[in-house]
Structure 1
Amino acid sequence: MLFGLLFALAAGLMWGLVFVAPVMLPGYAPAQLTVGRYLAFGLIALPLGLALDRRPLRELQAADWWEAARLSLVGNFLYYLCLSAAIQRAGAPLPTMIIGTLPVVIAVCANHRNRVRDGHLPWRKLAPSLALIAAGLACVNREELRALQAQAGDPRRYAEGAGLAVLAVACWTWYPIRNADWLRAHADRSPRAWATAQGMVTLPMALAGALLLTLVHLAAPGTLTQAGQAFPLGDRPLAYVGLMLAVGLCSSWLGTLCWNEASQRLPTSLSGQLIVFETLAALAYAFAWTGRQPSPLTLAGVALLVAGVAWALRIRPKRTPP
């Protein structure tokens, strides 16, 4: 249990980096960030797999590789595409706080689905947690909308960002539940090898994405890049390549590895709630990068979010007979 908590904490700290990457590279399209990140993930995972996990990777069957591909498509590509687009449209704090509902969303979804394997959390005891998180989101949304109006921003872009963040929540609700299913069903397999396998199947997807982006750019120049910006590396190629490699190594490979270790040790309803570490890390990184001081209302929203997850963590699952 202790090691599971520590692995979840490490995963959250590394995953928080993906929220600040679109802010650090504002001139790059979400598709460029997504393809760049997972191209780096695949290029890093391939030599690591050959060097460290050759034997356990050979033991994977065709069904296992197909499951890794589906997990990578939804939990990697679609999730990060929606997330990076949401951040560029609405700023980092709002999408971060919407993603912050994942701990309870995953717990609610897994609560019924995995009640026999992991135990059942009484709905009556979960209600205060859900109410606290809803109040926290209301605080942050109101503060961010005020800031948007003061800057004469576009409310439509703000709404689009919120909608894309909700789609990202849907993707990453499905991913950890299915990922935990495989890990719990294969408790004798290496979580590191499973993280490497997901990176290896991501590589051909990223290459296909890069080819698609190239065709779009050739057919309609300027669709993916701003005026005068070079394609595909943009006007800050060293920053783009360096950040994609850092995110590919830390957030994708190491983050997935740590999350797999946590998922193999903890019930899904509990490990899902520990994604709060990602939310808090992302908020801290975003405010540090932009140099903004969080307002009292934003801090109150964060406190309510943490209180809601802390409340949920106190609930002990009840065993359900098969």
Structure 2
Amino acid sequence: MLIGTLYALIAGLMWGLVFIGPLLLPEYPAALQSVGRYLAFGLIALPLAWLDRAELRRLRRADWIEALKLSAVGNLLYYVCLAAAIQRAGAPLPTMLIGTLPVLIAISANRRNAGRDGRLPWRRLAPSLLLIALGVACVNQVELQALRHDPAADPWRYLGGAALALVAVVCWTWYPLRNADWLRDHPGRSPRAWATAQGLVTLPLALAGYLLLWLIMHIGNSSFALPFGPRPGVFIGLMLAIGLFASWLGTLCWNQASQRLPTLLAGQLIVFETLAALGYAFLLRGRLPEPLTVAGIALLIAGVVWAVRVKPEPIAASA
């Protein structure tokens, strides 16, 4: 349990890095940042695949198809929506919405994995849902106040960012559940090799997405400087860093945690990603968060801690 929790903590610290990419590259389209990140992830996975070649040969066709699904939804689609949400609504609100994942995953696991992991009593889970909802509301209020005082702000752009963040939440509610299913069904398999497999199948998807985006921009006579934009050095360096630390190392650590922890508990520990992302975002802003934002973060943490303390009950015991 302790080792699994530490792996989840490291994964959260690594995944928090993905929230700063859109802030450091605001002029880059979200789709380009997504395919760029996962193109880097796929290229990094190529030499790593040689180290895991024996494990990768054990994967069957169904395993590769599952890795492809996980990569398409949990990698590419998720990050397109998240990056676009951060560019439109800023970092705090999308980060807080992503912060609801622990309880959303627990609720989903409560329905689909009860036979394996036990069932959470709904009445004991309700207070955590209320605390998390209040926390998101507090942060949203601060961001809306900032919009009202900014004459150049676009409320519709902010709402669009919130909607995209919700799509990202759906993607990442689905991903850890399906990923944990595979890992728990294959306890003898290497979590590192499974992370590398996802990187390998992401590579052709990201490459195709990059070429398609380039073609669309060319046909539309876009002024954006392809293939690497107006700051190629920053873009390439950031994509490689996020691809290595967030995509591969983060996935590796999360796979290690998922193989050691019940899905319900592992889902709660995604809160580490939220806290890391908020910390990185306010460091980039160069100022402390507003008191109401701090209160919202505290409520979010309290809600997740409350949910973690609710122990799953075996179905036989609750029947």
Q: Does TM-score exceed 0.5, indicating one fold?
A: yes
Matched, 1:25 2:20: no
2:80 aligns with 81
Matched, 1:272 2:267: yes
Q: Which runs of 4+ in 1 moved over 6 A?
A: none
TM-score (norm 2): 0.98
Structure 2: how far apart are the matches of 1:218 and 1:308?
48
Once the two structures are TM-superposed, the CA of residue 303 in structure 1 deviates from its matched residue by 0.2
Percent of aligned pairs sharing the same letter: 67
1:142 aligns with 141
Q: Matched residue of 2:315: which SS?
A: coil
2:67 aligns with 68
Which among 300, 306, 318 is matched to residue 305 of structure 1? 300
1:127 aligns with 126
How many residues matched? 316
Matched, 1:260 2:259: no
- 1:15-35 CA-to-partner distances (Å, cap 9, x unmatched) read 000001100011100011001
Paired letter, 1:24: L
TM-score (norm 1): 0.97
Q: Write out aligned runs for 1:162-201 (5 A).
A: 162-201=162-201
Q: Matched residue of 2:201: which SS?
A: helix
- 1:93-128 CA-to-partner distances (Å, cap 9, x unmatched) read 110011110010000110121011001110010000
Worse-matched range after superposition: 128-137 or 289-298: 289-298
2:282 aligns with 287
- 1:13-62 CA-to-partner distances (Å, cap 9, x unmatched) read 00000001100011100011001000000000011111x10100000000
Once the two structures are TM-superposed, the CA of residue 234 in structure 1 deviates from its matched residue by 1.1
Structure 2: how far apart are the matches of 1:39 and 1:221?
24
Paired letter, 1:139: C
Matched, 1:234 2:239: no
Matched, 1:244 2:275: no
Paired letter, 2:173: T
- 1:228-262 CA-to-partner distances (Å, cap 9, x unmatched) read x4212111110000000000000000000000000
Structure 1: how far apart are the matches of 2:242 and 2:198?
15
Once the two structures are TM-superposed, the CA of residue 149 in structure 1 deviates from its matched residue by 1.3
Q: Write out aligned runs for 1:153-164 (5 A).
A: 153-164=153-164
Matched, 1:45 2:45: yes
Structure 1: how far apart are the matches of 2:120 and 2:27?
44
Structure 1: how far apart are the matches of 2:204 and 2:182?
22
Paired letter, 2:171: C
Worse-matched range after superposition: 311-320 or 36-45: 311-320
Structure 2: how far apart are the matches of 1:166 and 1:199?
25
Worse-matched range after superposition: 196-205 or 285-294: 285-294
Q: Matched residue of 2:195: which SS?
A: helix
Paired letter, 2:269: L
Paired letter, 1:173: T
Once the two structures are TM-superposed, the CA of residue 151 in structure 1 deviates from its matched residue by 1.1
1:106 aligns with 105
Structure 1: how far apart are the matches of 2:191 and 2:125?
30
1:214 aligns with 214
Once the two structures are TM-superposed, the CA of residue 292 in structure 1 deviates from its matched residue by 2.7
Structure 1: how far apart are the matches of 2:221 and 2:269?
43
Q: Matched residue of 1:16: which SS?
A: helix
Once the two structures are TM-superposed, the CA of residue 182 in structure 1 deviates from its matched residue by 0.3
Paired letter, 2:253: C
